[in-house]
Structure 1
């Protein structure tokens, strides 16, 4: 299992490097794929999905799939022109998906329970919308007419530093000095000491990264800002990890999917990233925008 996980991790890192460096439509396509898979996994966990055996999609799933494609089309358009601001694209899509779900609920009544409609909307926001902030962060600083997003190219890596960097540091510190359980029910192996080590480690990695790119970013405050962003992001990443575990416990499943050998599904691997990406995007807007 270790070698399977390691092989999958290496492949994921390579794909992340390629898509994030490329940005634009390459990263957009990757985000659409991940979002569709994440929504499928969450729909299955929440009891919204029609089931793999049926091979069919029910009304709520179809609304979510159309919403994902429509959402990323709007985001792409907002990056290319000044006609649709990003916040408008997000809000408009959320309203459309909500209305679409209610339409299916009302005119298909009593096929779906109200809890399923709410779960479908939650799944759309939790997976696709939160994941989209990876793309938005990479394109940060990009103006109209497709100007290159140089600032976003440096900031987007903070998402991985704050989430996967924190996870690695927390694991190492927890193994060495971990004594007090952070969340005994959801994750018995996670310790308070490990969590502190994860936050400090992520902040240190962010500062180190900022030190190396400070001349390219041309901002003398970048070391402090990157340390702060990664520190806060790492805190949120741990909540994301535990939140995904809580949903799995409620659903009575071990993994969200089997897409990534040794890891599970998209949500299993990107649980912390899903929470970290929006936080880092908005911190970048407030501190560097």
Structure 2
């Protein structure tokens, strides 16, 4: 099991690294595919992944991403509103085929997965986006790894006994501090060959620390959804890891946070 988990984890990291390194249409396509798969995992919980609601959801996701691709930001909010209108229209026309929780899951999944996931691509498209997108993984996966290590070493006080019995307050602090340290080290490295309009050695720790703190909420929220739905994993796509959302739950949650923080510290340069 460990070997399978390790191999699939390495493959996942390599695919993600390649897609983000290439940028442009490659990053766009990778993010869209991951968003569609993740959205389908939410819909499967409510048994509507092959329904009319799903067709509207997949279509809305594609249209939203196309608007981003062609830099039609003025259309993104309109697409979200139109998506909700069509979703409610389908709910009314097909009533009582779909339940209210299924209709709400269709909208929630669209915003939670498709819209929030899109900020990975949007970060990559920023000026110096190739460097900024690394902050996303330092904050999420760095926090997760260092929180685990800290918790294993000195963790004594349970943070959320019901949702995640193994997480500790010591691990929470260790993960956030560790993510901030990783941000500082990364900023120190970049500062040797890239001239930013800000000091990355002081700003990147703040970005990674805040991102790490928010990622904890994302991780626990994902656990709450699974427990409330009576499932162990969102899917089986990634051997040993579960579904897309099992690996990207924290990434999804903090992508908008990292995007807006990097825009703020870089003076809004896009």
TM above 0.5, yes or no, is yes
Deviations 1:93-148 (A, max 9, x none): 2112101101101111111122221111001111111111100000013xxxxxxx
Q: Which runs of 5+ in 2 are unaligned?
A: none
Counterpart in 1 of 2:107? 121
Counterpart in 2 of 1:27? 27
Q: Which runs of 5+ in 1 are unaligned?
A: 51-56, 79-83, 142-150
Q: Is the 8 A contact 1:178 1:192 kept in 2?
A: yes
* Counterpart Cα distance in 1 of 2:145 and 2:75: 35
* Structure 2 counterpart of 1:183, from 142, 160, 172: 160
Q: Does 1:60 align with 2:46?
A: no
* Counterpart Cα distance in 1 of 2:171 and 2:97: 46
Q: TM-score, length-normalised on structure 2?
A: 0.96
State the shift of 1:220 in Å.
4.7
State the shift of 1:287 in Å.
1.6
State the shift of 1:217 in Å.
3.9
Q: Cα RMSD (Å) of the superposition? A: 1.1
Q: Give structure 1 regions of 4+ aligned residues with deviation exceeding 3 angstroms.
A: none
Q: How many residues align?
A: 266
Q: Is the 8 A contact 2:198 2:265 kept in 1?
A: no
Q: Is the 8 A contact 1:48 1:60 kept in 2?
A: no
* Counterpart Cα distance in 1 of 2:253 and 2:143: 13
* Structure 1 counterpart of 2:224, from 246, 260, 276: 246
Deviations 1:187-231 (A, max 9, x none): 000000011000000000011001111231434511111110000
* Counterpart Cα distance in 2 of 1:11 and 1:89: 35
Counterpart in 1 of 2:237? 259
Q: Is the 8 A contact 1:48 1:61 kept in 2?
A: no
Q: Is the 8 A contact 2:48 2:102 kept in 1?
A: no
The SS at the match of 1:156 is helix
The residue correspondences of 1:1-289 to structure 2 (distance < 5 A) are 1-45=1-45, 47-49=46-48, 57-78=50-71, 84-85=72-73, 88-141=74-127, 151-214=128-191, 215-288=193-266, 289=268
* Counterpart Cα distance in 1 of 2:258 and 2:44: 29
The SS at the match of 2:70 is helix
Describe the shift of the 1:95–1:217 C-alpha distance in structure 2 as closer, same or farther (beyond 3 A): farther
